[in-house]
Amino acid sequence: MNLAPYYPVLLFIIVGIGLGGGLIGVGKLLSPHKPDTEKNAPYECGFEAFEDARMKFDVRYYLVAILFIIFDLETAFLFPWGVALRDIGWPGFLAMMVFLLEFVIGFAFLWKKGALDWE
């Protein structure tokens, strides 16, 4: 069995591991290292890390997150539709217009109810 064609792959892996490890080592040697309790504390979502883990979130945070997912998915539907529009023709165009109409009606409803207002 001839392994000579795989030598470039092995060389690539060795150089990659060596370069990555070398750069991490140089960074470790040259960087200032002055840890303290505040610097080592976990930081998450802009909230103080030393409070109760069961603190209550505002419901609007979850509402904005869900609305973001809905708007993001709507955009994800538009890209393949735009690419395939020539193939699907008028029925596909009309189906997307119905989808967008429902989307705009829902957006207007949310706007009127104040779901997008952040006080």
CB 81 within 8 A of CB 96: yes
Report, as an integer, the average pLDDT of 28-33: 89
pLDDT (tens digit per residue) in 62-102: 888 888 888 888 888 888 888 999 999 999 999 999 989 99
Q: Which residue has the higher pLDDT, 60 or 25?
A: 25
The reported pLDDT for the residue numbered 88 is 92
At residue 110's C-alpha, the angle toward residues 107 and 112, to 5°, is 110
Q: How many residues does the chain have?
A: 119
Question: What is the model's pLDDT at position 72?
Answer: 85
Of 62, 61, 98, 63, whose CA–CA distance to 77 is shortest?
A: 98
Distance in angstroms (rounded) separating the CA atoms of residues 60 and 66: 10
Instruction: Report the pLDDT value the prediction gives residue 110, as an integer from 0 to 100.
Output: 83
Question: What pLDDT, on the 0 to 100 scale, is given for residue 92?
Answer: 92
Average pLDDT of every residue of the chain = 84
pTM: 0.47
Q: Measure Cα distances from 26 to 12, 14, 40 in Å.
A: 21, 18, 21
Query: Topology of 55-119 in CATH?
Result: Methane Monooxygenase Hydroxylase; Chain G, domain 1 (1.20.58)
